[in-house]
């Protein structure tokens, strides 16, 4: 079986702030920026990985989501408990310095974890947890 990860989805409630974080701070390229009904879906990804993307989407717009569910999503985003992703880099310390310079919301500085991974954690402007691991 030949399966790859093509795209993952993270909610964003401020398209301009999300774009600044993923493009300017993380250095991802913008692959698509689509507006519809006053909302925006922004697709970004690493320039050297054209087949892997993150779609930054408005929260709670999926068909079938109730107003109560939409409210809960917004509350969870505000607490930073709704969305997240794990990224990896060969230069964790350099990446962390770039995140700090870009005023990222630092959750954890680079740390050796007891399970054998060295990583750091930040939150994007929507509150999504972004963990970045050191590649071996």
Give me the chain's average pLDDT, please. 94
Residue 2 lies in a domain: no
Q: What is the CATH number of the domain that holds 55?
A: 3.10.180.10
Residue 104 lies in a domain: yes
Query: Could you tell me which residues come within 8 angstroms of residue 9 by beta carbon, excluding any fewer than 6 positions away?
Result: 54, 55, 56, 57, 83
Full residue range of the structural domain in which residue 53 is found? 7-134
Domain count, the chain: 1
Residue 37 in any domain: the answer is yes
> What mean pLDDT is predicted for residues 122-126?
95
In a domain, 1, yes or no: no
Distance CA 82, CA 104 (A): 18
- Whether 83 maps to a domain, the answer reads yes
**Can you list the positions of beta strands (E) in 69-125?**
84-89, 105-112, 118-123
Q: Determine which of 44-48, 50-54, 101-105, 108-112 has the lowest per-residue pLDDT on average.
A: 101-105
pLDDT of residue 102: 87
Per-residue model confidence (pLDDT) at position 84: 93
Q: Is residue 82 part of a domain?
A: yes
Examine residue 31 and state whether it is found in any structural domain, yes or no. yes
pLDDT-derived band at 80 (thresholds 50, 70, 90) equals confident
| pLDDT tens for each residue of 12-65 | 999 999 999 999 999 999 999 999 988 999 999 999 999 999 999 998 888 889
Per-residue confidence at 78, pLDDT binned at 50, 70, 90? confident
Over 90: is that where the pLDDT of 115 sits? Answer: yes
């Amino acid at each position: 079986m030949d399966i790859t990860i093509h795209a993952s989805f993270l909610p964003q409630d401020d398209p301009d702030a999300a774009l600044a974080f993923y493009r300017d701070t993380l250095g991802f390229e913008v692959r698509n920026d689509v507006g519809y009904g006053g909302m925006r879906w922004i697709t970004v990804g690493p320039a050297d990985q054209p087949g892997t993307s993150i779609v930054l989407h408005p929260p709670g717009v999926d068909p079938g989501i109730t107003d109560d569910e939409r409210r809960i999503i917004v509350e969870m985003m505000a607490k930073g408990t709704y969305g997240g992703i794990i990224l990896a880099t060969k230069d964790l310390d350099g990446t962390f310095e770039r995140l700090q310079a870009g005023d990222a919301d630092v959750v954890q500085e680079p740390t050796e974890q007891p399970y054998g991974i060295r990583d750091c954690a930040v939150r994007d402007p929507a509150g999504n947890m972004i963990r970045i691991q050191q590649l071996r």
